[in-house]
Amino acid sequence: MPADKPMGASPLELDKEHRAGNVVGFPGGLVSYLAPLPLRTGQPAQDYAHAVGEVNDIYLDFGVGLPPVFGWQLTLGGPLGGWAMFAILFPLLVFVGTPLLGGGLTDSIEMAVGVFEHGVPVASATAFFTLAIGMFVWLHKHLQHRNVIPTRFNRQRREVCFVPEGHTEPIFVPWESLSAWVIQAQGATQYGIQRQYAMGVGFHHAESGQDFSLEFPCAGLPLAIANWEAIRAYMEYQVHSLKEIQDPLDLQGPDDPPHEGLHTFRNARERMRRRYSEGEVGAWYVFGWYLYHVMTLWTLPFRLTEWEVGRVKRMHRQDIPEAMQAWSQPLPPEQWAKPSEELLKQGELLENLRLRKPQDSIFELMAEVGRSASNDMKQMAAEKR
C-alpha cells in the first residue's frame, strides 16, 4: 500500500479500539495487531525490508530507506540467470541426456546445437523484457526518495509524525496509541496457493474520519514482526543505530558508511573465507558463493548501490514541513517523555507469561495480557462504585 495514504475498504478498522494481540479475519487472511500498546515481541529487531532510512539520537525515519544491494542483484541477475538457463543449461542437459535415450555423439551435438539456436532468441528477448520491467520498478522506487516524506518516530517526545499524501501539514500521533499490525493473506492461483505477508502502522484521524496507514510487504510472518520490533526497540532505547537493525551478518566494519556498497562485498568475501578456513563451511558453500556473485555480475550491483545511495543523498527531496522540522529538534533530557505506567505493567506481565508459556505465540500472549488489563480496569471501576 502506498505510504501514508487514506484507506478505503479495509479489514483494519482503525476507528475501532484495538489492542496488541487482537486478530481480525477477512476473506483470505488475518490482521494480527502488535500495538497499541507497543509490547515487546521477542523477535530480533531487524529491518529486513530496508524500510528504515535515517536513524539518530532523536528520530527514526520509516518509509523510504536507503537502497539495498539485493535490489540490483535481482534486477541484473534475474535476467542473466534466465538467459543462461535457456542458452547454456538446457543445451547441456540435452547433450548429456540424448545418449541416455539411445542417441549417439552426433545426435547429441545436433540436438544441443538445435536447442541452443532456438533458445538464444527466446532467452535474449525474455531477458531484455525482464530487465526492462526491473528498471521500471527501480525508477519508481528511486523517485519515491524525492516525493515521499517518511514517517518519523521521535523517541524523545514519544510521538510519531505522519505527512499523508495530499496534506501540507503533519499529523502528530502519540507513540503508545499508534496501531501496528501484520497481515497474512493467501489466495489460489493457477500456480497453487500463494501467501503474502506485510507489516503496517497507522492511525484513525478523528477530524477527517479517515484511516491513514503505511504498509510494507515482507517475505514471511517472523520477518514482518521483526520489522516492527526494530521500530519498537528504537523507541524504547534498546537499539540506537542503523547498523544494529540492518546488518545482522556484521558486514559493515567500524569505519564503513552505514549503508550497503562495495565495502559490503569485501567484508562478505572475507567472512566467507574465514568461515571456510575455520571449517565452519565446506567447499560447496564457497563454490555457491562465487557462483551466485558471478551470476549477479560480481561487484557491479555493489557499485551501482553506492552510486544510487550518493544520488539519493544529493537528491532534492520534497521539503519537510516547518512544523515537522521544529518537532524534530532535540529536547533537554529533563523534558523527554516517559513510558506510561500501563505500558510498563503490561510489558512486565508479558515477559512473565513468555517464561511460563514459551510455546504460545506472541499474539496469544499479548491477547492474554490485554484480557488481564481489561479485568483489572473493570475491578478498579467496581471498587470506585
In this prediction, residue 154 has a pLDDT band, given cuts at 50, 70 and 90, of very high
> What digits encode the pLDDT tens for the residues 100-124?
777 777 878 888 888 788 888 888 8
Whether residue 382 is contained in a domain is answered as: no
Does pLDDT of 5 surpass 80?
no
Q: Which residues contact 215 (CB under 8 A, 6 or more apart)?
A: 1, 183, 198, 199, 200
Pick the residue with more confidence: 17 or 375? 17
Whether residue 377 is contained in a domain is answered as: no
Whether residue 356 is contained in a domain is answered as: no
Whether residue 384 is contained in a domain is answered as: no
Mean pLDDT of 161-180: 90
Question: How many beta carbons lie within 10 A of that of residue 118, not counting itself?
Answer: 13
Whether residue 58 is contained in a domain is answered as: yes
β-partners of residue 52 are 62
Whether residue 365 is contained in a domain is answered as: no
> What digits encode the pLDDT tens for the residues 306-315?
999 888 877 7
Cell triple for residue 44? 530480533
Instruction: Give residue 148's pLDDT.
Output: 77
**Which of 53-62, 67-76, 278-287, 369-378 shows the lowest per-residue confidence on average (mean pLDDT)?**
369-378
Whether residue 374 is contained in a domain is answered as: no
pTM of the full structure: 0.78
In this prediction, residue 378 has a pLDDT band, given cuts at 50, 70 and 90, of low
| 13 three-class SS | coil
Total number of domains constituting the chain: 1
Mean pLDDT of 317-324: 79
The range of the structural domain enclosing residue 231 comes to 5-351
Whether residue 112 is contained in a domain is answered as: yes
In terms of Cβ atoms closer than 10 Å to its own Cβ (0-12, 13-18, 19+), residue 325 is exposed
Q: Which residues contact 89 (CB under 8 A, 6 or more apart)?
A: none
For the chain, what is the mean pLDDT?
86
Instruction: Give residue 384's pLDDT.
Output: 64
Does pLDDT of 202 surpass 80?
yes
